[in-house]
Amino acid sequence: MSLVFKTIQTEGIAELSYLVGDDDEGIAAVFDPRADCDVYIEAARETGVAITHIFETHIHADLVSGSRELCAQLESAKIYASGEGGAEYGFAPEKLKDGDRFTFGKVLVTARHTPGHTPEHMSYLLAEADHPDEPWAVLTGDSLFVSSAGRPDLLGEKHTTKLAEQQFHTLRDFYLNLPDHVMIYPNHGAGSPCGADIGARLSSTIGYERKFNKFLQFTDAKSFTDYAIKTAPPVPHYYPIMKKMNAEGPKVLGNLPRVPGLSPKAIKDAIEKRAGVLVDVRNMLAFGGGHIAGALNIGGTPILSIWAGWMLDPEKPILLVLENDDDLEKIVRLFVRTGYTKFVGYLMGGMKAWHAAGFPLERLGQMSVHELNERNSSLQVLDVRSPAEWKRGHVRGAHHIYVPELRNRINELDRNKPTAVYCGSGYRASIATSILKQQGFNDLWNVPGSWEAWKKAKLPVEGAGGE
């Protein structure tokens, strides 16, 4: 027997899912699949196993669950989801109870109810079938992370205190009662908003977390709750949408959405008819050098999934401007992961074709951190990082508006004053400057490198140990 254990990492949303099974028996299970689920079928094929079970740890808020999509592509697999904590679904998974067991050859999987992040949350102990009560690993879902724990506030304020108390008891009464050698495999890594400051490693052990994880050091529920709420990052506004979609059961697509190629004239007509939201996924420097008026710049790196979720309405179709036409499938995958499946089309030939058609361009200035420092007193400097990043230090005199709040707080800014925008690296600043451009700000600069470059240049820092 050879254990099949594969971690599938989805960058951007920092999601971790797992293929677990036995290649002698030729069977396996997938835990918490993402929406573009062909990766699991390919992993199963490579290891010579058939996927027979699809397990969910909880009703996800941060991404579209791929369970129904994966199940539709397999002949004999079933979906298993928690029946604890009052969970209700708009589809018909097999409902799990605390203590349910499943055997995959010599691999034993035991479902354990671990409420706190959500009421229905399940974790899964992994053991050898010959030693059923001696687990060697636990798939922790969004319950316990490396250096962190699942936030208890995603169902709203009226549920937070109860969930935090459940999370406290889950951590102390379940996880801390496991032996130190047990490996933990969480549902998220660093960068996910599902927990505060999740560690960079993708796995850990109970013993290591027992010693170093701050969330495991509390001895009373009140102090734990206060800490969990205080440290939680801002809740992305698309989380409730994802939660509802996953509870009802995401629509089975069958394939990635079709995105037709459109000529520059067709794109121009679609914009004039307001047929969709124009999203330019090129990098910030290309966007600044020339873009179509009214475009929102969300760069086509893996974190597009999260920032599309923050900035776009999933009910409004999207018009795409790409770096290269060959990037289309990669970009559509990133959108699909957070529920964006409606597309009017993409600009064939990209901005080169737009130029050749003789259509107008708009530009955004790019300002180095050194120039920002020299011109600071004559500028309206806008910091669009998260509140936690702001508190750790910022440019002297900067105004702080977290980029997802910008549209609602735009009247706090002076449209007539020269404005420079920075974030951590320039990615979010480019989103922000494209929004400001839409709103009539013309004397406007993005700051490439942003805070990372500012710190490396050893320029003055205000707040949190700075001046």
Residue with tokens 């009214």: 294
Bridge partners of 186?
141
Q: Which residues of 43-61 are buried (b: 16+ CB within 10 A; e: fewer)?
A: bbeebebebbbbbbbbbbb
Task: Calculate mean pLDDT across residues 284-297.
Answer: 97
Instruction: Give me the pLDDT at residue 465, please.
Output: 58
CA distance 36 to 196: 27
Residues of the chain with pLDDT > 70, as a percent, come to 99
> Model confidence over 143-171: pLDDT tens digits?
999 999 999 999 998 999 999 999 999 99
Instruction: Give me the pLDDT at residue 76, please.
Output: 87
Bridge partners of 123?
112
> Model confidence over 232-250: pLDDT tens digits?
999 998 999 999 999 999 9
The count of C-alpha atoms lying within 13 angstroms of the C-alpha of 169, restricted to the half-sphere facing its C-beta, is: 10
Does the pLDDT at position 445 exceed 90?
yes
Instruction: Give me the pLDDT at residue 464, please.
Output: 73
Instruction: Give me the pLDDT at residue 446, please.
Output: 97
**In the structure encoding, which two tokens stand for residue 195, read together?**
């927990």
Instruction: Specify whether the CB–CB gap between 144 and 150 falls below 8 A.
Output: yes
Task: Label residue 2 by pLDDT band (50, 70, 90).
Answer: confident
Instruction: Specify whether the CB–CB gap between 163 and 108 falls below 8 A.
Output: no
CA distance 57 to 79: 11
Q: Residue length, the chain?
A: 467
CB contact set of 135 (below 8 Å; sequence gap of 6+):
110, 125, 126, 127, 178, 182
> Model confidence over 165-199: pLDDT tens digits?
999 999 999 999 999 999 999 999 999 999 999 99
Q: pTM (2 decimals)?
A: 0.94
Does the pLDDT at position 467 exceed 60?
no
In terms of phi and psi (left: phi > 0; alpha: psi -120 to 50; beta: otherwise), the region of 339 is left
> Model confidence over 20-46: pLDDT tens digits?
999 999 999 999 999 999 999 999 999
CA distance 347 to 268: 10
Q: What is the CA radius of gyration of the chain?
A: 24
Distances (CA, A) of 306 to 79, 237, 333, 362: 26, 10, 12, 26
> Model confidence over 340-366: pLDDT tens digits?
999 999 999 999 999 999 999 999 999
Please report, to the nearest 10 degrees, the dihedral formed by the alpha carbons of residues 109, 110, 111, 112 taken in order: -140
Does the pLDDT at position 284 exceed 80?
yes
> Model confidence over 318-333: pLDDT tens digits?
999 999 999 999 999 9
> Model confidence over 260-282: pLDDT tens digits?
999 999 999 999 999 999 999 99
User: Which domains are seen in the chain, by residue range?
Assistant: 3-248 (3.60.15.10), 261-356 (3.40.250.10), 365-456 (3.40.250.10)
Q: Which residues of 382-410 are buried (b: 16+ CB within 10 A; e: fewer)?
A: bbbbbeebbeebbbeebbbbbbbbbeeeb
> Model confidence over 62-116: pLDDT tens digits?
999 999 999 999 988 999 999 999 999 999 999 999 999 999 999 999 999 999 9
Query: Please, what is the average pLDDT of the chain?
Result: 96
Residues of the chain with pLDDT > 90, as a percent, come to 97
Contacts 24+ apart (CB under 8 A), 304-307: 304/12, 304/331, 304/334, 304/335, 305/12, 305/13, 305/63, 305/334, 305/335, 305/337, 305/338, 306/12, 306/13, 306/193, 306/236, 306/338, 307/427, 307/428, 307/431
